Amino acid sequence: MGYKDLIDSTKNYLLYLKEIGIEELPYKGRGKTAEKQELLSLEAVRKELGNCKRCKLHGQRTNIVFGCGSPDASLVFVGEGPGEDEDIQGEPFVGRAGQLLTRIIEAMGLKREDVYICNVVKCRPPGNRNPEPDEISACRPFLEKQLSAIRPKVIVALGTHAAQTLLNTAEKITSLRGRFYRYGNDIQIMPTFHPSYLLRNEGKKKDVWEDMKLVMKELGLEFPRRTE
């Protein structure tokens, strides 16, 4: 194939992609350029979400709680939905449960800004009730798009709803936690207890730490040294 033929066939391929609605090439690498591209991708997902009214949760929200943290994170935490503090501040995991999540992240030798944090539903269920199936299915495509923009190595699913949504299962968190499951080709999911459950069940913190040690091992993180 000559140089001109190569240019023509590349041009035709790009026109074909545009015709079927693909505006960007599916390349995704790492590093500074890739980081910028991922950031733009997350921004594109947020833009597509817009002032979302795709489910009934939009009616009583103060803010959409999209997600926060590094767009280049190897580790993503996915919770169930925003609570009162999160709804007011527009940021996930900022209340008491969020402070506990921050301590768990720091115990792993990381900072909140090293990871990405989001929820299955992005608007607060009234009275902190569980998100309903129609709300989860309306919001779920945006979670999936966020995860494909970030492409982490590990996702920690916090609590039953996050684990069931990501793993497409009806199993309870008690039987799911403690081992990895595949999400797509190269992402591992570790289900564990939700921090708000830990606030009511102190004894389960040990189980969560065991799960986080498996996550650290998977990510090649060093275990922090004990100081006493």
Write out the residues near ligand SF4 by the rule CB under 6 A.
Answer: 49, 52-55, 57-58, 64, 121-123, 135, 138-139
Could you tell me which of 21, 28, 17, 13 has the C-alpha nearest to residue 151? 28
Shortest reach from residue 123's CB to ligand SF4, in Å: 3
Q: What are phi and psi of 152, to 5 degrees?
A: -75, 170
Shortest spacing between CB 41 and ligand SF4, in angstroms: 18
Q: Which is nearer to ligand SF4, 66 or 116 (CB)?
A: 66
Comparing CA positions, the residue from 91, 128, 85 lying closest to residue 112 is: 91
Least CB distance to ligand SF4 at residue 142 (A): 6
Least separation, in Å, of the C-beta of 89 and ligand SF4?
Answer: 16
Which residues lie closer than 8 Å to 226 by C-beta, 6 or more apart?
A: none
Q: Which is nearer to ligand SF4, 75 or 136 (CB)?
A: 136
In 10 A of CB 192, how many CB atoms? 28
CB nearer to ligand SF4: give 21 or 50: 50
Order across the sheet with 181-183: list the strands.
68-69, 116-119, 75-79, 154-158, 187-192, 181-183
Helix%, strand%, coil% for the chain, nearest 5: 50, 10, 35
Given the complex with ligand SF4, which of 72 and 86 has the nearer CB atom? 86
> Residue 66 CB, nearest distance to ligand SF4 (Å)?
8
Of 100 and 125, the one with the shorter C-beta distance to ligand SF4 is 125
